[in-house]
C-alpha cells in the first residue's frame, strides 16, 4: 500500500535527519562554523517536516496542505535565524575550523544522499511528499556548499567563505519556504479553505 511505503520511508529519513542534526550542531558549535550550524538547523527543520508528513499521511488533502504550510513556516523561521547567526559570525571574525567543517560536511552528505534516494520514488505522490522531497534536495545543495566553504576557509584562513555559505543556505530556506507556502495556500484555496495570512 502506498501510504505504508511512504510511512516507512518517512520514519527512516526522520531518523537520519534527527541524528545528523545532533552531531552537526555540536560540531558546528565547536568549530565556530555558521555554515555547519545553518546546515544542522536545516536537519532539525527537516526532522519537523518529516514528523508533520507522518502525522498527516493518512489524512485528507486539506490536512496535507496544512502540514505543507507548517513546513514552509518552519523553514522561514530557520532562514531568519541563520541570517542572524551569519551576521554575528561576520562581526566576531574568527575563522572556523576547516578540517572539522569538511569531515562533518562529508558525513552529512552521505546521510542526505541516502535520504534523497529513499524519497525519490515518492517525490510526485502528493503535495505532502513533494514538499518533503524538496527539503531533501535542499540538503544536498547545502552539504555541497559546506564542503566548498571548508575548502575556501582552509585556503584563505578567513571567516567570509563560511559566512557567505551560511547566508546562501538561509536564502535557500527562504526560497523553499516561499514556494511551499504558496503551493499550500493554493491547494487550500482549491479545497475551499480561506488562508488570510503568511503571504511570502
Q: Which of 162, 157, 51, 146 is nearest to 108 (CA)?
A: 146
Residue 67 pLDDT greater than 90, yes or no: no
Radius of gyration of the chain (CA): 17
- Band (pLDDT 50/70/90 cuts) for residue 98 is very high
Least confident of 20-24, 124-128, 192-196: 192-196
Measured distance CA(89)–CA(130) in Å, rounded: 34
Q: Which of 137, 149, 172 is nearest to 36 (CA)?
A: 149
The residue that leads in pLDDT, 67 or 87, is 87
Residue 68 pLDDT greater than 80, yes or no: no
Residue 119 pLDDT greater than 70, yes or no: yes
pLDDT attached to residue 181: 83
Helix (H, G, I), strand (E, B) or coil at 103: helix
- Band (pLDDT 50/70/90 cuts) for residue 2 is low
pLDDT attached to residue 196: 46
Place of cell 562554523: 33
Least confident of 101-115, 146-160, 182-196: 182-196
* For the chain, percent of residues with pLDDT exceeding 90: 29
pLDDT attached to residue 97: 93
What's the CATH fold of domain 2-190? Answer: Alpha-lytic protease prodomain-like (1.20.1510)
- Band (pLDDT 50/70/90 cuts) for residue 99 is very high
C-alpha cell at 156: 584563505
Amino acid at each position: 500500500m502506498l501510504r505504508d511505503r511512504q510511512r516507512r520511508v518517512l520514519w527512516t529519513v526522520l531518523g537520519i535527519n534527527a541524528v545528523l542534526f545532533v552531531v552537526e550542531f555540536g560540531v558546528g558549535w565547536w568549530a565556530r562554523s555558521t555554515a555547519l550550524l545553518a546546515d544542522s538547523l536545516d536537519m532539525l527543520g527537516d526532522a519537523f517536516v518529516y514528523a508533520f508528513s507522518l502525522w498527516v499521511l493518512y489524512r485528507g488533502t486539506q490536512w496535507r496542505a496544512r502540514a505543507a504550510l507548517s513546513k514552509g513556516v518552519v523553514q522561514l523561521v530557520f532562514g531568519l535565524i541563520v541570517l542572524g547567526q551569519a551576521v554575528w559570525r561576520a562581526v566576531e571574525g574568527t575563522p572556523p575550523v576547516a578540517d572539522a567543517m569538511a569531515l562533518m560536511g562529508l558525513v552529512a552528505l552521505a546521510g542526505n544522499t541516502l535520504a534523497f534516494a529513499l524519497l525519490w520514488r515518492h517525490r510526485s505522490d502528493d503535495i505532502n511528499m513533494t514538499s518533503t522531497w524538496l527539503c531533501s534536495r535542499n540538503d544536498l545543495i547545502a552539504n555541497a556548499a559546506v564542503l566548498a566553504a571548508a575548502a575556501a576557509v582552509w585556503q584563505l584562513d578567513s571567516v567570509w567563505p563560511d559566512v557567505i555559505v551560511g547566508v546562501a543556505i538561509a536564502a535557500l530556506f527562504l526560497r523553499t519556504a516561499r514556494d511551499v507556502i504558496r503551493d499550500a495556500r493554493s491547494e487550500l484555496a482549491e479545497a475551499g479553505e480561506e488562508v488570510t495570512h503568511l503571504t511570502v
